[in-house]
Amino acid sequence: MTWKQCDYTGWGRVYHARGELARPERASALARIASQTPCPAIGQRRSYADGCLNDGGRALLTERLDRFLGFEEETGLLEVESGCKLADIVTHFGRRGWLPAVLPGTGFATVGGAIGMDVHGKNHHHVGSFGQHVESLTLALPDGPREVAPGDPLFAATIGGLGQTGPIIRATLRMQKIRGDVMMVTERRIPDLASYFDHLDASQATYTVGWIDATARGAALGRGILEEGETGPGLVPPAKRGTRVPLDAPHAALSGPVVRSFNAAYFRRVPERGRTVVKPLEDFFFPLDKIHDWNRLYGKRGFHQFQCVVPLAEREILRAMLKDVGTAGLASPLAVIKRMGAGRGGMMSFPTEGYTLAIDFPARAEAPEMIRRLIAMCFEAGGRVYLAKDAFAEASQMDAMYPERAEWAGILHSIDPGEAYATDLVRRLSLRSLP
């Protein structure tokens, strides 16, 4: 296998790594390398910060392991290689009436990455997280491939396990039957945060997600647009092919005044009485994927995303967070609010019952301090930050945010005492330290 020295980054382009990467073409090659040179596997690097980096070390890219291995129409069980992108599954199986039960906001995420972060989607309140729909998976361990399934502690350590149980070669997913291959989406304006909570609590829709104007202040604080979606039969033009951002945008492109005006116009794009629109599946699930390399819109310095979930009873902390963000004038147009259910698949999974808030920030000098303040508020409220996005949490906050961390680290120690699978994220937050 050829190892190639590469420079690479997470999706936010702030954290960088330099190290040797290999791209095996076949599962057998992945298994061989994994036994000779244990190292972390990486998907499409859609994690924002350092969760998909191994600076100074080796890593295995799964991008060429993207084959469908088998599908049973009677049960909806789909076996795929771990580098398979979720968008490819949607495109291929959507028209046959099946979808992965859980889809994050980007179809570039691979099955391996979706398991490694136990991703959640717009239907989390109904169906839980990605890992809860994994029937089994096969790990490439130093002593050979090993299949694991629910009930095995190694399975619970792998789901949301940040790649720390070794490379996943393939997985079997329980797909979900859908009513048709288009989306019926109802969009309505939400005037403020209190109404947002009411609407999120009352929504009966299968898929729910809220865009939030993180620049709004005063009476408009927390305003946004709630989207509620259902699959159904219908005809829509196929999803458009993506355009590409050709170069890094200048720094002023996302200045405070530009973002405020953009957000005000975006809020008004939906009529006051609301509307229902019909969309291709991909446009609803992966709205940003049409613009390839949209991360370049933040310029060379890149950007951060803060995402937290706080318990239902502590939801007013989101008001304090939005006040702070609105006053600082640092937010980008990308901000999302959602109610989460209790479902989570593994010991280190992010989801827990509560409200989740995600906000992108251009990587300006003031951003780290602002995000650290938000993390501190989340911590005080008994919430947790999402490790697929985190750049600034502290090791000392991890055991409260992820109460099963120490037990998880113990399981990892038994299969990988030398921490060969550690990534930059795991080292930064001392996630594998033993009690």
In whole angstroms, how close is the CB of 295 to ligand FAD at the nearest point?
8
User: Is residue 391 near ligand FAD by the rule CB under 6 A?
Assistant: no
Instruction: Report d(CA 370, CA 191) in Å as an integer.
Output: 25
52 binds ligand FAD (CB under 6 A): yes
Query: Of 221 and 352, which has the nearer Cβ to ligand FAD?
Result: 352
Q: Could you tell me which stretch among 45-53, 189-197, 316-324, 377-385 binds ligand FAD (CB under 6 A)? A: 45-53
| Residue listed under structure tokens 């933040």 | 298
Of 13, 27, 38, 45, the residue at the interface with ligand FAD (CB under 6 A) is 45
End-to-end CA distance of the chain: 38
- Under rule CB under 6 A, residue 393 binds ligand FAD: no
Instruction: Please state, in angstroms and as integers, the Cα–Cα distance from residue 244 to each residue in 211, 241, 253, 404, following that order.
Output: 23, 10, 17, 41
Q: Does 138 participate in binding ligand FAD (rule CB under 6 A)?
A: no
Minimum CB–partner distance for residue 162 and ligand FAD (Å): 4
Q: What is the Cα gyration radius of the chain?
A: 21
Residue from 31, 99, 120, 393 touching ligand FAD (CB under 6 A): that is 120
| 38 forms part of the interface with ligand FAD (CB under 6 A) | no
Of positions 9, 44, 208, 263, contacts ligand FAD by CB under 6 A: 44
d(CA 424, CA 51): 6
Question: At its nearest, how many Å lie between ligand FAD and the CB of residue 125?
Answer: 13
Q: Which amino acid is at 332?
A: S
Q: Binding string to ligand FAD for residues 260 to 299, with x set by CB under 6 A, is what?
A: ----------------------------x-----------
Of 46-54, 211-219, 308-316, 400-408, the window that binds ligand FAD (rule: CB under 6 A) is 46-54
- Cβ-Cβ contacts under 8 Å for 192 (sequence gap 6 or more): 219, 220, 221, 222, 223
The three-class DSSP label of residue 164 is coil
Question: Of these, 21, 33, 39, 41, which contacts ligand FAD (CB under 6 A)?
Answer: 41
Which whole-number Å values give the CA distances from 274 to 277, 312, 334, in the listed order? 10, 27, 21
333 binds ligand FAD (CB under 6 A): no
Residue 28: CB minimum distance to ligand FAD, A: 15
Task: Work out how close the CB of 342 gets to ligand FAD at its nearest, in angstroms, rounded to a whole number.
Answer: 16
Instruction: State the minimum distance, in angstroms, from the CB of residue 240 to ligand FAD.
Output: 17
* Interactions with ligand FAD, residue window 160-199 (CB under 6 A): 162-163, 167-168
Half-sphere exposure of 149 (CA within 13 A, CB side): 6
3-state secondary structure at position 313: helix
* 14-50 b/e (C-beta count within 10 Å ≥ 16 → b): bbebebbbbbbeebebbbebbeebbbbbbbbbbbbbb
Environment class of residue 412 by beta-carbon count within 10 Å: exposed (0-12), middle (13-18) or buried (19+)?
Answer: buried
**Minimum distance between the CB of residue 63 and ligand FAD, rounded to whole angstroms?**
9
Q: Are strands 291-292 and 335-340 parallel, antiparallel or unpaired?
A: unpaired
Would you say 221 or 346 has its CB closer to ligand FAD? 346
Nearer to ligand FAD, 199 or 292 (CB): 292
The CB-of-61 to ligand FAD minimum distance in angstroms stands at: 8
Q: How far is the CB of 347 from ligand FAD (least distance, A)?
A: 14
405 touches ligand FAD (CB under 6 A):
no
For ligand FAD, the closer CB: 157 or 221: 157
Q: Site for ligand FAD (CB under 6 A): which residue of 19, 76, 116, 160?
A: 116
Cα dihedral 245, 251, 252, 258 sign? positive
DSSP E strand boundaries for 51-96: 58-61, 68-72, 77-81
Is 39 a binding residue for ligand FAD by CB under 6 A? The answer is no
Size of interface with ligand FAD, in residues (CB under 6 A) = 33
CA contacts within 13 A on the Cβ side of 281: 26
Q: Which of 84, 90, 109, 173 binds ligand FAD (CB under 6 A)?
A: 109
Least gap, CB of 175 to ligand FAD (angstroms): 18
423 binds ligand FAD (CB under 6 A): yes
In three-state form (DSSP H/G/I as H, E/B as E, the rest C), the secondary structure along 398-415 is HHHHCCCHHHHHHHHHHH
3-state secondary structure 351-398: CCCEEEEEEEEECCCCHHHHHHHHHHHHHHCCCEECCCCCCCCCHHHH
Residue of 175, 177, 183, 176 lying closest to 284 (CA atoms): 183
Contact residues: ligand FAD, CB under 6 A: 11, 40-47, 51-52, 62, 82, 104-106, 109-110, 112-114, 116-117, 119-121, 162-163, 167-168, 288, 388, 423
